[in-house]
Every structure is written in structure tokens, then in C-alpha cells.
Amino acid sequence: MQRYQRELVDVELGIYRYDPLIVLKEAKMPSILLEAGSIINRDEEIQMNSLERRDLISASVSSAVVAFCDARAGG
């Protein structure tokens, strides 16, 4: 990330901490900002334009939310 280095929370997943973003800082409820690809990277831009990729991302996010809520509910 060059000069914009942030605290790396998970090396394997490439998750960085950057709390000052409005969606994270001002939210009145738990929130997350998901970056599913980068249009700066031409290969990722092409992948993001496919229905299959968008379906995979949607299903993965939905599954993660359900797993998180189930774990919080104790079941």
C-alpha cells in the first residue's frame, strides 16, 4: 500500500484496519466496508463484470452474514 500503509489485520485475507472511513466511523450500528475487487486492476475489472463473479461474491457475503448471526445467536 506504499505510503498509505494501514494496520494489517489478516495477512492471508489481505484485511487492513482503516477506521476513519465515514461508513465505519459514523455508523450507528455494526458495519463493514467490502471491497470485492479493484477496477484499477484490468483483470479484476473484467472478472467483476461477469454475472458468475457477482453471484459468487453475493453468495459468499450472504453466507458469511448468516454464519456470523448464527454464531452470535449461539446456534
pLDDT in tens, 11-54: 887 778 877 788 778 888 877 778 887 777 788 888 888 999 99
Question: What is the grid cell recorded at 55?
Answer: 453471484
* This model's pTM is above 0.75: no
Cell numbers describing residue 11:
495477512
Q: CB-based contacts of 18: which residues, under 8 Å, 6+ apart?
A: 6, 24
pLDDT for the residue 70: 92
pLDDT of 39 reads: 75
Cell of 4: 498509505
Per domain, the residue ranges of the chain are: 2-73
The answer to whether the beta carbons of residues 31 and 23 sit under 8 Å apart is yes
